[in-house]
Amino acid sequence: MIRRHVQVVAFLLIALGAVISPGRGIGAADGLPARLSDQEFWKLIETFSEPGGSFRSDNLLSNELQFQHVIPELTRLTRPGRAYVGVGPEQNFTYIAALKPSIAVILDIRRGNLDLHLLYKALFEMSSDRADFVSRLFSKPRPEGLTASSTAADIFAAYGNVEASERLYVQNIATVRDQLFTKHGFALADEDVRGIEYVYRAFFVFGPRIQYSPFGLSGATIQPTYADLMVATDESGQTRGFLSNEEAFGYVKSLQSRNLVVPVVGNFAGAKAIRAVGAYLKEKGTTLSVFYLSNVEEYLKRDGVWQDFCANVSELPLDATSTFIRSIRSVTGDPSDGLRSELGPMNQISNCR
């Protein structure tokens, strides 16, 4: 009888271990910390980053309306609790909410993208829920009637009838600065302070109608707005955006509050950033689950440096499930056709194939 009791207890312990195993759950995987201190977070930014470059537009939000279409397959292919690397602005939050990594690194050649993500970090941390977040992002007073069960469409319809407030904007930007400088103690350069104010002003001026190229790059009229992106769906019609429900928002907020969404300035073909990220993940004993590329490979191949990117990818900790998310331009070349998302195995490119 005693032997049988011991066997039952052992079985339960094994089963419990399978449930809460870091590699299978959504907590810190392997040696990844459950949180980074403010000093560790800022050191990673400085250690991973390269000198900034330029791009033809500010990229204050995505222009990829179909980016959620790959999420159902992506969640079947990959495991939560690992690492995520991405590029660009807010679409990363939707992938993070769906994939539930233990750490996310957002790598972009533009230092303005780092400034944008520091702004987002402060807003996530200070916001109690999705409606509060949208209020802060666009400096609009919160309308009555929004609850935890409101859909993204409900939220953006409600804010569509609310005017932005200059007083609220001034108050909010001061609170953002206090959050980053005083609460976290980040050593922001004057350039970054101006960059944060620049992007925040754009959200205030344009509101939920803001587009990828708000300041006049050709094609702006056919680009999706922020509201369009937040109410977009996968191919089955399910809304999977990070503002689709409180659980999705809460997961990103939790990572942000624990300093586990790390913005980095880096060139995909550069000699430092991707390799530094790879070395850190290997040191922590974890695997890269997903690398969201957008359509950066298009520019790398155009500039003749795709092989350098390929060599960088070979330094990342990968396995057979590690997956690229690519954004592919329409074969027609018509901007109105947009970009479609595709998945691909990372272990092939790591061998430069």
Is 223 a member of any domain?
Answer: yes
- pLDDT value at 146 more than 50: yes
pLDDT of 212 higher than 70 = yes
Higher pLDDT, 7 or 61: 61
- pLDDT, residue 223, reads 86
In this structure, how many other beta carbons lie within 10 angstroms of the beta carbon of residue 103?
Answer: 27
pLDDT at 13: 39
User: In whole angstroms, what separates CA 153 from the centre of its chain?
Assistant: 21
Whole-number Cα distances in Å, 294 to 150, 215, 291, 317: 30, 21, 9, 20
Q: Is residue 268 part of a domain?
A: yes
Is 242 inside any structural domain? yes
Three-state SS annotation for the chain: CHHHHHHHHHHHHHHHHHHHCCCCCCCCCCCCCCCCCHHHHHHHHHHHCCCCCCCCCCCCCCCCCCHHHHHHHHHHHCCCCCEEEECCCCHHHHHHHHHCCCEEEEEECCHHHHHHHHHHHHHHHHCCCHHHHHHHHHCCCCCCCCCCCCCHHHHHHHHCCCCCCHHHHHHHHHHHHHHHHHHCCCCCCHHHHHHHHHHHHHHHHHHHHCECCCCCCCCHHHCCEHHHHHCCCCCCCCCCCCCCCHHHHHHHHHHHHCCCEEEEECCCCCCCHHHHHHHHHHHCCCCEEEEEEECHHHHHHHCCCHHHHHHHHCCCCCCCCCEEEEEEECCCCCHHHCEEEEEEEHHHHCCCC
Domain assignment present for residue 100? The answer is yes
Range of 136's domain? Answer: 29-349
Confidence check: pLDDT of 337 > 70: no
Q: Is residue 99 part of a domain?
A: yes
Whole-number Å distance between alpha carbons of 26 and 16: 15
Q: Which of 29-43, 117-131, 191-205 has the lowest mean pLDDT?
A: 29-43
Domains identified in the chain, total number: 1
> How far is the C-alpha of 112 from the C-alpha of 53, rounded, in Å?
10
Average pLDDT, rounded, for the chain: 89
pLDDT band (50, 70, 90) for residue 58: confident
The two tokens of residue 242 are 């990070």
Does residue 108 lie in a domain region?
A: yes
Question: What was the pLDDT predicted at 55?
Answer: 65
Per-residue pLDDT at 352: 63
Whether 24 is covered by a domain: the verdict is no
In a domain, 7, yes or no: no
